[in-house]
Amino acid sequence: MFGLAVNELLVISMLVGFIALLFLGVPVVWSLAGTSLVIAILALGLNEYLGSDTYFLDSWRDYAVIVQRIWAIMENAVLVALPLFIFMGLMLDQSGLAETLMKEFANTLGRFNGGLAVAVILIGILLAASTGIVGASVVLLTTIAMPIMLEQGYDKRLAAGVIASAGTLGILIPPSIMLIIMADQLALSVGELFMGALVPGILLGLAYLVYVVVIVTLNPALAPRPRNLAPLTAGSLLRTVLAVLPPLGLIVAVLGSIFAGIATPTEAAGIGALGASLLALANGRLSLSVLYEVSRRTTLTTAFIFGIFIGATAFALVMRALGGDEMIAAGLNAIPFGDMGVIITILAFSFIAGFFLDWLEITLIFLPLVGPVVVNDLGHDPIWFVILFSVALQTSFITPPVGFSLFYLKGAAPKEVATKDIYRGIVPFVLIQLSIVALILILPEIVTWLPQLVYD
């Protein structure tokens, strides 16, 4: 009993120490790896002092397993898709497609009340399905859309809410980098997870569109139609369609090849990287300097992700050796409100954790601990749970006061857009997203029907 109590104390110390180091400004990689090493040393010392029958690491060989774990990460063929998808997203940012889409959509849809807001959401959906990088999407939409919306008299709160929410769709709509890592952590099929996320992601985008149309219909002054706009012609409509075709073709090539079973996610990522480069070349935006910069940023982002992978692997190794997974499972199973109470508790924790931690740390540390409880102990569909978890985590990106997407927007927005405008403007979109979480919780078929239709 004494050994078990010490284990619990060590597990709690690991979690508290990790969070404390983050608040002190220590990089995530060193916070994870350093905490695991200190606790491992302490556990080995206590094991020698208390006796071999205690529930600790037996020797340094137990901690040295981290070497094999790191090797297994580097051998994982699925994770090769990460740098390729990152390259694809960064190259698309350089291709000028978003600017072209905004120009043509503004000319076609901008002549109606709320048309620019609708255009931003549609572009956000296209960017989400072709780049999957939230920070880049929010900054890009803010840069190209916010000045136009303010110039045409749009309410600052509505403009900020639309841009932040539309830019954050990339964390959910495939090919999402987050979903690839989640699939790896819980040994799920990337293709099935992508299919499970497709309907909720599109449903969320449509819910944003419906809200904008309704609110602008009730109060047209929030998003006035521009004056002195050239008449809409067949030529301008054709240009709009032609502007949509390149990103749409890339989406079909990447996701279609995965869903049809023609290519693995890694192979499809290669197709996407090549397709994005060709689109940049076709737009006259591809040069040696652009290729160098995109490659450099891809390398830095990939190194950052895999560094956290290594730190999280060391953290999880010590946590499990100390019985942390069993402790968390016992705590969740002791919740007195049944299956839904356990799941709602997990979602609430991930939502709150998303205020302070990036999705990567939550995915690598928290998800592997709670996933087996929901799937194995409670018997729920793993695809459904992962997508539900993802939507709840996405909500934290746009929730004041510390939603990451709000910081991205504030950093790129014009000076006249105050922080209070961003916070007030995002509230309706947070409520919409929470409604989608509740809908998926009540109706799992929203997630499961497409994967079952294709794979069963």
pLDDT digits (tens, 9 = 90+) for 267-294: 888 998 999 899 899 888 889 999 999 9
Q: Is 195 exposed, middle or buried (0-12, 13-18, 19+ CB in 10 A)?
A: buried
Inter-residue contact 167 to 94 (CB < 8 Å)? no
Q: Which pLDDT tens digit goes with each residue over 333-387?
A: 777 777 888 899 889 888 888 777 778 788 888 888 888 888 888 888 999 999 9
Q: How confident is the model at residue 59 (pLDDT cuts 50, 70, 90)?
A: low
Check residue 441 and give its pLDDT: 92
**51 has pLDDT over 60:** no
Mean pLDDT of 197-220: 93
Q: What is the pLDDT of residue 224?
A: 86
Rounded Cα–Cα distance for residues 370 and 186 (Å)? 10
Q: Of 31-35, 87-91, 192-196, 238-242, which has the strongest mean pLDDT?
A: 192-196
Single-letter amino acid, residue 134: V
pLDDT of 67 above 90: no
In whole angstroms, give the CA distance from residue 182 to residue 174. 13
Instruction: Write down the pLDDT at residue 105.
Output: 79
* pLDDT tens per residue across span 319-346: 877 777 777 877 777 777 778 888 998 8
Nearest Cα to 169, choosing from 381, 355, 418, 429? Answer: 429
Q: Dihedral sign, CA of 18, 24, 29, 30?
A: negative
pLDDT for the residue 60:
60
Q: What is the predicted pLDDT for the residue at 216?
A: 92
Pick the range with the lowest mean pLDDT from 135-144, 160-169, 186-195, 295-304: 135-144
Are 183 and 190 in contact by the 8 Å Cβ rule? The answer is yes
Calpha distance 146→442 (Å, rounded): 36
Q: What proportion of the chain, given as a percentage, has pLDDT over 90?
A: 19
The band of 57, judged by pLDDT with boundaries at 50, 70 and 90, is low
Span 95-140, pLDDT tens digits = 888 788 888 877 777 778 888 889 889 888 888 887 667 777 888 8
C-alpha–C-alpha distance, residues 245 and 100, integer Å: 12
402-422 pLDDT tens trace: 677 888 888 888 888 888 999
Whether the per-residue pLDDT at 214 is higher than 60: the answer is yes
Helix (H) or strand (E) holding 194: helix 190-218
**444/127: higher pLDDT:** 444
Residue 54 has pLDDT above 70, yes or no: no
